[in-house]
Amino acid sequence: MAFESLAERLQGTMDRMKGRGKVNEDDVKDMMREVRLALLEADVNFKVVKQFVKDVRERAVGQEVMESLTPGQQVIKVVNEELTKLMGGEQVKINTASRPPTVVMMVGLQGAGKTTTTGKLALHLRKKHNRKPLMAAADIYRPAAIDQLETLGKQLDMPVFSMGNQVNPVEIATKAVEQAKEDNHDYVIVDTAGRLHVDDNLMDELDQIKAAVNPDEVLLVVDAMTGQDAVNVAETFHERLGITGIVMTKLDGDTRGGAAISVKAVTGQPIKFAGMGEKTDALEPFHPERMASRILGMGDMLTLIEKAQSSVDEEKAKELERKMRTNELTFDDFLEQLSQVKSMGPLDEVLKMMPGANKMKGMKNLQVDDKQIAHIEAIVRSMTKAERDDPSLLNASRKRRIAKGSGRNIQEVNRLIKQFEDMKKMMKQMSGMQKGKKKGGGMKLPFM
């Protein structure tokens, strides 16, 4: 999980502040010492840490905290706001040309994930914004770079402009923009070459491509797991090339998160996207306020809702709600919901977006094995249609047949059936509470 180590340290420090009726300067000093250590251990740039601690301390010992009715909560609010500010303040969207096509130039070192990110960005633009992007293969040096992009294009059903590896990259980029105009593409994403380290030849070539196609966006792709090296690379590229935004890859695998916190403060350029996995749709717009909320254990309900909205069929959701109210839920409905939840991403990551999930019993080290979900699906699919519609038919002999057919044991079958029945009872109770609420009584459920 991104920022896991930092989140644990900061949340522990924040928890100690919550119960304070009064906060004095010594309390703030002790807290900021812990915050400083947590940030340094997370590989945040030391100059960034120094300024952050200074800004928080000034606000935390000011009147807005000292005269607050709940000083402990107010201090946490200050840390959250300053952390958000540090990472950019608010989401910065990708630039768009006044007249299409919008030209996006992808730059960075080898191994950061430029080519893969090019495909992810193209899919994001088509899927989320209904755009028609063209990918251009301008990396003629890395073996199989062109083949990789063409393979991605076939996988995503996305057009790729290529002229082979014997043509100058400047000409490839120029011709790609011309082709995009002819074919009415509204975005051209140019996958440029990288090197193992920043050198003059690389920068000269990128300068030439930039001068030739006049990109609306120069996105630097950096690997979050390289920590401060990623920040140094970003600083160098910005000084030499003038980047307009950053894509932070492998953020899901970086438990420290120092690069993501430092890079905006050091370069002045925003993180626009974050790579959160290997799948082609695992690219998310970067929201500083949501990331700060995750780090401090406040959850990320907006991203969770967006994932749900993009993954859940609205008509099926309405039908499911009706079945919940009338207690008609079947195992087929259960399978359908399981499939839609899986499409939102790894279940453990989805659950961790819930506020306070890190403090729930068993959630801290939760790892949901895909095999467990496959076992559940196998058990349900081994039932007949009548059994899935009416679990009361499941006697001992039917359960033995289902266990044998799914390759699981009878205990697992019994456990799943019991969990399903318990879930139906709980939903029936929730439905009753909802009716009571409408009549003026009962409990108000936030999700009903």
The string of pLDDT tens digits covering residues 390-441 is: 888 999 999 999 999 999 999 999 988 888 887 777 666 655 554 544 444 4
How confident is the model over 68-95, as pLDDT tens digits? 556 667 777 888 888 899 889 888 999 9
CA 4-10-16 angle, 5° bins: 135
Residues 272 and 126 in one domain: yes
Task: Flag whether 114 is marked binding.
Answer: yes
Do 158 and 196 contact (CB within 8 A), yes or no?
Answer: no
Starting at the edge strand found earlier in the chain, the sheet holding 271-275 runs: 160-161, 133-138, 187-192, 102-107, 217-223, 245-249, 271-275, 283-285
- Classify residue 92: in a domain, yes or no: no
Residues 62 and 111 in one domain: no
To the question of pTM greater than 0.85 for the whole model, the response is no
Residues 156 and 268 in one domain: yes
- Classify residue 97: in a domain, yes or no: no
Expressed as residue numbers, the domain containing 24 is 4-86
Task: Flag whether 69 is marked binding.
Answer: no
pLDDT at site 319: 65
Task: Flag whether 255 is marked binding.
Answer: no
Do 156 and 122 contact (CB within 8 A), yes or no?
Answer: yes
Do 59 and 275 contact (CB within 8 A), yes or no?
Answer: no
Task: Flag whether 194 is marked binding.
Answer: yes
Residues 192 and 110 in one domain: yes
Give me the number of domains the chain comprises.
3
Domain boundary among 282, 298, 314: 298
Task: Flag whether 164 is marked binding.
Answer: no
Task: Flag whether 251 is marked binding.
Answer: yes
Task: Flag whether 277 is marked binding.
Answer: no
Tokens of 374: 């496959």
Pairing type for strands 187-192 and 133-138 reads parallel
**Which residues 6+ apart lie within 8 Å of 427 measured at CB?**
324, 327, 329
Structure confidence at residue 2 as a pLDDT band (50, 70, 90): low
Q: In the 3-class helix/strand/coil scheme, how is 389-443 assigned residue by residue?
A: HCHHHCCHHHHHHHHHHHCCCHHHHHHHHHHHHHHHHHHHHHHHHHHHHHCCCCC
Task: Flag whether 212 is marked binding.
Answer: no
Task: Flag whether 72 is marked binding.
Answer: no
Residues 168 and 271 in one domain: yes
Task: Flag whether 88 is marked binding.
Answer: no
Closest Cα to residue 387, out of 374, 401, 372, 408? 401
How confident is the model over 4-16, as pLDDT tens digits? 667 777 777 777 7
